[in-house]
Structures are given as structure tokens and as C-alpha cells.
Structure 1
């Protein structure tokens, strides 16, 4: 399956093609994958994410799936890359990983049927839909700061075309220990359905990203932790957590909280055991 990666090569953003352990630029220059400075594999005009989709996560929260999927938006300033630093702002404590598959749109898409969606998908990549749950009390409706703060959408390492999403494993590791273990087969709504659903009223443009949901066991991580999301056939996306250099300002806006809503969401099935 062809895989394309965007990297920073001698000061320029370059799209490369993976050839084994090397990335090949259009002019023939080659870089070892372990030495490459990765960029997000695509530059979307918008990032749309589904709320609940994996049945294991629904079961974990004792929730009920709605009749149709619901969504939220992540600003493009959340974009991050393979081996990039995910920033937990000073004064915040409840930053959760969410390993996911990202759908990348290949051509302008509006008002299509699910069985037409494959024609509009360029490919897929690995995503980590980080959430800053300290702001869940104030942004529960929009998820703006929860899911939209800077650096909270790592994608990569590459865009893989001709990938069949059915029956693929999805695993997240924290410091080398397995944290999430799911499958695309436990998604209530598959990739084609999600694309068609969003495109009923929103035009999807080339490069746009749809995040397809996470399995059970999203949990908080700490500065210094290394989080790796591995999707069968798409590769592994690795990021590390750092503390932001300045605290959340206290002279404007709602402040981070630690309510039962915040803690129960951040800790998932572990909340009842506290």
C-alpha cells in the first residue's frame, strides 16, 4: 500500500514516498524514517470528529448510542505530527489520549451515499484525539477547549492509500504498556457512513480529516509520558507529553475544574473504583 509522508527536509516542507526504511523526495533525496522530521501528513481546512462510535467505549461508560452519530470540531491549530510534543498547559491535570483512525478526503465531497464514499477518500492515517478535560464543565457543549487546544491532534506518520478499514486492530501504548486494545469492527458507524453523513450539509475538501472514534480505556497522561497509537496497516504514531511554559491565565474566562463530570470522563471505568 503506498504511503506518503510530509517531512521537513533542509528547511522545506516536502512530500515523500516511503520506500522501506527510507523516505524518497520528488528530487530523489532519501532520508531514513528514524531521522526524518515529520510534519502532519495533510493540511486540512477542517477536522471533524465523532463522539461515541466504538462499542467498547459505549459499554465502559454505560452509555447509549444515539440513533445517529454526533460530532465536534477541532481547529486546524490542533495539528501535530509524529514525534511531536503534546502540550498540557500549566495548571491543567486531565489530558487524555484517544487512539483513532483518521479519514482523509481526496476530492470535493457533498451529498453522496455511503456506497459512494470510497471514491472521495484519499486514504487514512493514525490519529490521537487528545482531550483536555479540565475544561469539560465549561465547554461540554462545544468541546472547543477540551478537544481544540493547541497540539491536541497528532496525525501520522503517513497517509496510506488503498487501505481496507475492515477488521483492523487499533492499540494505544503509554510508556510501552498497552492501554487501549480495540478493532475497527467494533465501530457502530463505519468510515464510509461517517463521510456521507457529514457531507450531507458540509462540503468536504481535499485534505479534510474525519476522526472516527476511540475504543475503551482513554485515560490521563502526564508530562514525560510517551504515547504510541498503532493501527494495523497504517503504522505507529508516537508523541510525548510536555508541560506548557505558562499557566492558564486567571484574569479571563472559566478556569480548569475537577468536578465529578471532569473526573468521571477522564478516568472512565476507573472512576467507580476511586
Structure 2
């Protein structure tokens, strides 16, 4: 049996609620309509770890092959956002891409566990959109820090669903109501249990920590005014809208947004980043 928990602002206080049809119910009995609630990220992670290539359709799109084992990058918790939140594309940037994903949420401390044990350490799952600001790929491709870690670029939600079986579930992304990504968990090379066990070999995963499990093909740029939704079967539909940041990225320090062949090719699904001896990265 699945149960969906959400975190919302209820009368000004952060409140954990349970979904009951089209209402969210607090422990004290207060109710609020699903569409009326002010949502918060459904969990408070100490870290957010994301896998690079994992879906076969994405591998085929880039005309590459998977490495023998998964590779990862880290998104700072300051990138967290929620269902209904605004995704900020900084002034002067052009290549903000959606990436619909499923997020694994840790429920029990995990360290040095086998894949067969990982399910016992997972609290549940939620929907994620692993946005990428590819304007900074030329300088941050190795770490993905600004590409994937800029403020607002990690919305999660609407809720945390327990008792959900990840096998054979569809994963779709919509832009302004049109399907732009259409994948399945069955096309993942490494499943949820494998990813948790792999990371936990050397990194302790604490309750609330989040692992992003990869995106299918057709990640593309979106623009201010666009509404982007990610839907995972049985987990709900995460909705966000794109806005322009109020000020440009400062030009008096640091690398500036670029529009190289690599940036443009990656943003539009080309194979530039996989030419030569470069290791695959998303």
C-alpha cells in the first residue's frame, strides 16, 4: 500500500501532511485542498547526489555507451525547490534544460550495504527535475557545480510516496502541456537499489538524503514563461514555471556564461561531449 506525505506551509508553520484524495490532512485534523497548499520540498536532505547517464534512450541520443559503473555529481541543498516553485534562469543565460527524474529518499542510515539490502534503507520516492544551466558547462563540466547546482534548480515533489515499486513505471516530462520526454524505469541500466548500495560503499547516506536516478532522452532548453511538469507513474506530477532572474550574473568575477559548440550541442542533445577521450557526463 502506498502512502503520500507532503510538507506544506499551513497557517504559517511547516507541517507534514498526508494526502487523502484531493485534500491534505495534518496530524491535528486540519485539511487543505491539494491545489490550495503552499508546498515545500517533501524532504530535508543533508546531500543530493545525482547519477550521470543511466537511461538507455539518453545513451542512444548521445550516440555513446555507458561506462562499466555509474558516475555521479553532487547538487548543493541550496538548489532545493518545491512543487509550484519558480525556476530561475539568470539574466544573460540561454540554455536551461529540464531533466525529468525519479528521486530516491533514504529512510535509514546506509553504509556498506548490498544491493539486496538497499530497499530496507529507502523511505520512499518522489519526482525530481534535475535542471541544468548549460551556459556554465565550459567551466564547470567536471564538477557540474553551477550547471546543476545553481539556486532553484532542484525541485522535488509534490510528495514523498512510500510503498512504491519502481519497476515498470513511466516517466514523462511536459512543457506547456506537451509531452517532451517519455521514458520508463525499465530502461535504467542501474536500478534504485543498485545506486543506493553503490554510493553507500564509501559515503554514508543519512535519513532524508536524496539520490537522483537519471533522465530519459530529449532534455532541451526552456524559457521564461514556460510551465514544466514531470510525472512519474504512482508518484504524482511535479509542476514548476520558468522565470528570468532580476539581475545578470555578475561580470566582475568568475567565468561568464558561454555559447560554445559544446554548450549548444549538449543543450540540444548532440554528441559533442562524448567525442574523443572525454568520459561520459550529462
**CA displacement 1:114-161 (0-9 Å, x = unmatched):** 000000000000000000000000001000000000000000000000
**CA displacement 1:86-140 (0-9 Å, x = unmatched):** 0000010000000000000001110000000000000000000000000000001
Divergent runs of 4+, >3 A:
none
| Aligned equivalent of 1:157 | 158
In structure 2, C-alpha distance between the alignment counterparts of 1:258 and 1:188, rounded to whole Å? 32
In structure 1, C-alpha distance between the alignment counterparts of 2:42 and 2:150, rounded to whole Å? 20
Contact 1:217 1:269 in 2 (8 A): no
| Aligned equivalent of 1:166 | 167
**CA displacement 1:144-203 (0-9 Å, x = unmatched):** 000000000000000000000000000000000110000000000000000000000000
| Aligned equivalent of 1:33 | 34
Secondary structure in 1 matching 2:269 = helix
In structure 1, C-alpha distance between the alignment counterparts of 2:56 and 2:48, rounded to whole Å? 23
Task: Using the TM superposition, give the Cα deviation of residue 270 of structure 1 relative to its aligned residue in structure 2, in angstroms.
Answer: 10
Secondary structure in 2 matching 1:62 = coil
Task: Using the TM superposition, give the Cα deviation of residue 64 of structure 1 relative to its aligned residue in structure 2, in angstroms.
Answer: 1.3
Matches within 5 A, 1:229-244: 229-244=230-245
Contact 2:62 2:271 in 1 (8 A): no
In structure 1, C-alpha distance between the alignment counterparts of 2:257 and 2:67, rounded to whole Å? 29
Structure 1: 5+ residue stretches without partners = none
Question: TM-score normalised to the size of structure 2?
Answer: 0.95
| Aligned equivalent of 2:146 | 145
In structure 1, C-alpha distance between the alignment counterparts of 2:64 and 2:117, rounded to whole Å? 31
Number of residue pairs the alignment of both structures matches: 271
Question: TM-score normalised to the size of structure 1?
Answer: 0.98
Secondary structure in 2 matching 1:268 = coil
Answering whether residue 148 of structure 2 is matched by residue 118 of structure 1, we say no
Alpha-carbon RMSD? 0.9
| 1:221/1:131 CA distance change after superposition, 3 Å | same
In structure 2, C-alpha distance between the alignment counterparts of 1:105 and 1:183, rounded to whole Å? 22
Secondary structure in 1 matching 2:262 = helix
Task: Using the TM superposition, give the Cα deviation of residue 269 of structure 1 relative to its aligned residue in structure 2, in angstroms.
Answer: 4.7
In structure 1, C-alpha distance between the alignment counterparts of 2:270 and 2:241, rounded to whole Å? 24
